[in-house]
Amino acid sequence: MSERSADEPLVRRVEDVEEENWSTHDGLIVRWWTLLSKDRTPSSGLTVGIAEIPVDAVVPERGHSHEQNELYFILEGEGILHTQMAKKHVAKGDAIFLPGGKEHHITNSGLEKLKLLYVFDADSFDDVEYVRFSP
C-alpha cells in the first residue's frame, strides 16, 4: 500500500488487485477483486469490489449470510438472485440491496459472464464473516 492520506481521492483498477475466488472440487463458483478495503487501502466505511460468475460456474445448493448489509449492482449479464423467500431474475442495470444476516446467493442464468459491483457497509473485507449454509 502506498503512502496516501485517507482524506485524498483514491483510484483503483481491477487489473491492479489480486484475484480471489471461491471454488469446490467441482469447479469455480465465483471470482472477485476487492478494490477498497481498510486492510488494503487507506479507506474506511465501505468495502467495494467486482465479482464475476462465469457461465459454467458451479451452482451452490445453498447460499451464505453475513452480518453486514450488501449491495450488488449488475454490470454485465443476467442471473437469478436466491434468497430465503424467493428467486428473482436480475440483469444489467439492476441494483440489489441485501440485508445483513439473511441467506442469499446469485447464480448466472445467461450466455455471458455475470459481472457485478459489490459493496459492504464494513471497513474491511476481513470484517465480513461468511456463514455458508449446507443443503
pLDDT in tens, 83-129: 988 999 999 999 999 999 999 999 999 999 999 999 999 999 999 98
- Contact present, 56 and 82 (Cβ < 8 Å): no
The CATH number for 128's domain is: 2.60.120.10
pLDDT in tens, 18-41: 999 999 899 999 999 999 999 999
Does some domain include residue 91? yes
Which pTM was predicted? 0.89
Cα separation, 66 vs 28, in Å, equals 21
58 CB contacts (<8 Å, ≥6 apart)?
23, 24, 26, 27, 28, 29
Does some domain include residue 51? yes
Other CB atoms within a 10 A radius of the CB of residue 109 amount to 17
Cα separation, 119 vs 70, in Å, equals 6
Does some domain include residue 14? no
Does some domain include residue 1? no
Domain extent at residue 104:
39-132
Q: Pairing relation of β-strands 27-36 and 20-24?
A: antiparallel
Give the chain's domain count. Answer: 1
Does some domain include residue 21? no
Does some domain include residue 92? yes
